[in-house]
Amino acid sequence: MKKNNYRMSVNITVMVLLVLGIVLLAASGISAAPLRIGIAQIVAHPALDDCRDGFIAGMEKAGYVTGSDVVYDLQDAQGEMGNAIAIAQKYKDDKADLIVAIATPIAQAAAQVTSDIPIIIGAIADPIEANIAKSWESSGNNVTGMSDAAPNKTQIELIRRFLPEAKRVGTIYNAGEANSVVQIEEARKVCKELGLELAEVTASNSNEVITAAQSLAGRCDVFYIVTDNVAVSALSSIIKVSLDEKIPVVVADPPSVLNGALTSYGIDYYSLGERCAQKAIEVLGGKSPSEVPIGKLEQSEDLTFIINMDNANELDLSIPQDLLNEADSIVLAGTVWNRDK
């Protein structure tokens, strides 16, 4: 009888420990089985890649170790909306715990495919205009995350500072991308205020960008490229025309300066990804996505001003000293020199 009582006592102790372990795991916010997070971007280019890498780093900082606590399914839609929908459907079929949608078309596809899996958006200028969310304060659905709304006005004002004699601005964008349309509307308004002519050419895919850029040669004094995924993914084509025709390129996303553009004043996409991770942590902690406001990077520490002196030298441009003094980063002799903020 004593032996039976002893066994019963041991069994009860084991059960208590098991229950306690489950409770502790639940309280920690990290599942016993790794979380499954799908990260998809509409196309591969430096800004979107930085957003993806920043997200993963942000999750690591929060204690979600890749491989043991979380498994990522990384996908690239290669600029095709059909691929974006297929990727979103894959995540739904795989029962992903979370979807990270980098760029407007991917976010639209994910929101179209699932209303149950939480979606963290990144690199989307205006989620309301893109019909992804009802408001910045509450999406009203399974979406939250971060916007990459660019300071377009300040960027265009830089044209006057770098090129005081410039009168004509050329831009290339995909008219089917809501993110780009919003920025081009702002560019029209700002150019008019500054007395600049804006020449617009649209491109529906990256193969059309070289022709678009060539068509603007002779019609513009400077290229201004917003955070349009088609144009940025084919930036090398624009840079080629830029160098051939001696037309400087001002871009909305700083990473593109490392690929041959002259300058940018814009958000740090790695920081954007880290902020997206913070939104994800809130959702994984139990909040509904609609309870987590969609954020923007608006503080000075989140923005960066970069000048490519190598490109300026290729274009025989003289850069005013006051601009060099203001720059956070300068590209010179193939090296990026950063100023401490």
pLDDT at residue 336 tops 60: yes
Residues of the chain with CATH 3.40.50.2300: 35-148+269-300, 152-267+303-338
Query: Are 47 and 253 spatial neighbours (Cβ–Cβ below 8 Å)?
Result: yes
**Cα 49 to Cα 9: distance, rounded to the nearest angstrom:** 56
pLDDT at residue 16 tops 50: no
Give the dihedral of Cα atoms 228, 131, 189, 209; nearest 10 deg.
20
Q: Phi and psi dihedrals of 80, rounded to 5? A: -110, 125
* pLDDT value for 12: 47
pLDDT at residue 3 tops 80: no
Write down the CATH number for the domain with range 35-148+269-300: 3.40.50.2300
pTM for the predicted model, two decimal places: 0.82
Least confident stretch, 11-15, 47-51, 269-273: 11-15
Mean pLDDT of 205-218: 97
**Nearest residue to 188 via CA among 239, 229, 234, 224:** 224
Using the structure block, give the residue that is written with the tokens 């990144």.
Answer: 122
Length of the chain in terms of residues written: 341
For residue 187 the two structure tokens come to 């560019």
* pLDDT value for 320: 95
Mean pLDDT of 304-315: 97
CA geometry: angle at 106 spanning 54 and 271, to 5°? 20
Mean pLDDT of 101-111: 97
Write down the CATH superfamily of domain 152-267+303-338: Response regulator (3.40.50.2300)
pLDDT at residue 231 tops 70: yes
Residue % of the chain over a pLDDT of 70: 90
